[in-house]
Amino acid sequence: MKRILTIQDISCFGKCSLTVALPILSAMGIETVILPTAVLSTHTLFKNFTCKDLSDQLTPITNHWKQEGITFDAIYTGYLGTEEEIDTVIRIIEAFRNENTLVIVDPAMGDNGRLYAAFDEHYAKQNAKLCAVADIADPNITEAAFLTGLPYRETYSEEYIRELLLALAEIGTQTPVLTGVSLSEGKTGAMGYDAEKKEFFHYQNDRVPAAYHGTGDIFSSVLAGAFVLGLSREAALKIAADYTAMTIAETLKNPGNPWYGVDFEKTIPELVKLVENAEALS
Ligand code: PXL
């Protein structure tokens, strides 16, 4: 069984980061090791959330794993809180990486043209250092603009998306994947660039008319899982985008749907089928 280490916070309530990554990756048949960077009462879109930083635990925990000879097929990082934490995470990646380890970075820090309240441009620059060591990094357009210094555009052409992807590859990411990319009316999806082969690839599905918190974490977790399972880059984009769209559609069916996250739990059996079908085709 493949083994992945995922490094992100635990938002106890709110369906994001580790409470999404762990069930999704487990459902995909991957042994999932967690390294929690902080414990929050909720994610940061709630008011008055509590936060206990666990940064000082990261090195002792990973030192213990080293002593035990524990290794990983992949390392997947999500929301991180501080610049120092990013430095520590880069050191952990360096300590555990070998030539076969896949490193997947979701540089979660903003959306809709703005950084989340906790972050500034300096943090974004630091996040670019993490993306520089990634095999795959999957920012949204906002994050990509902050990572590369290119302007953020709400309406754009395919050329702009290609420009962002090339700039991300320039930073050092082997295969950048841009999320939330709409290249035609009523469609949304993702576009990637394989810097080694110099090839662009993309996948679009029908846009489900709703935006929910936590969907970026769902997309990234499935994308990470798909790459770890060895699916092709096209199949990885498709399964991540299709599952994310499915969870949003399922959430919309629920009249009392939660504003703080999506009902991804209901579609886990579909995820298992998507993985089985993709594996049978590859
Ligand atoms: O979904 C990304 C995320 C993860 N963790 C925390 C967050 C957010 C986004 O706001 O606040 C704590």
C-alpha 140 – ligand 1 centre gap (Å): 14
* pLDDT one-digit tens code per residue, 184-228: 999 999 999 999 999 999 999 998 878 888 999 999 999 999 999
pLDDT of residue 232 exceeding 90: yes
Q: Ligand 1, closest atom to CA 20?
A: 1
Residue with tokens 């810097």: 195
Q: What is the DSSP letter of 151?
A: P
Phi, psi at residue 115, to the nearest 5°? -80, 150
Cβ 24 vs Cβ 221: under 8 Å:
yes
CA of 85 to the centre of ligand 1 (A): 15
Please state the pTM of the whole predicted model.
0.97
Nearest ligand 1 atom, CA 116:
10
Residue type, 81: G
What is the Å distance from ligand 1's center to 237 Cα?
22
Q: How far is the CA of 75 from the centre of ligand 1 (A)?
A: 19
Whole-number Cα distances in Å, 181 to 48, 58, 98, 111, 132: 33, 34, 32, 13, 22
Ligand 1, residues at Cβ distance < 6 Å: 9, 11, 16-17, 40, 43-45, 79, 108, 116, 214, 216-217
CA distance 194 to 123: 26
pLDDT confidence tier of residue 117, bands split at 50, 70 and 90:
confident
* Helix, strand, or coil (residue 31): strand
Q: Residues 232-248: what's their mean pLDDT?
A: 96
**Higher local confidence (pLDDT), 141 or 211:** 141
- pLDDT, one tens digit per residue, over 52-101 is 999 999 999 999 999 999 999 999 999 998 999 999 999 999 999 999 99
- Distance (Å) from CA 155 to ligand 1 centroid: 25
Q: Whole-angstrom distance between the N-terminal and C-terminal Cα of the chain?
A: 17
Q: Which atom of ligand 1 is nearest to the CA of 49?
A: 12
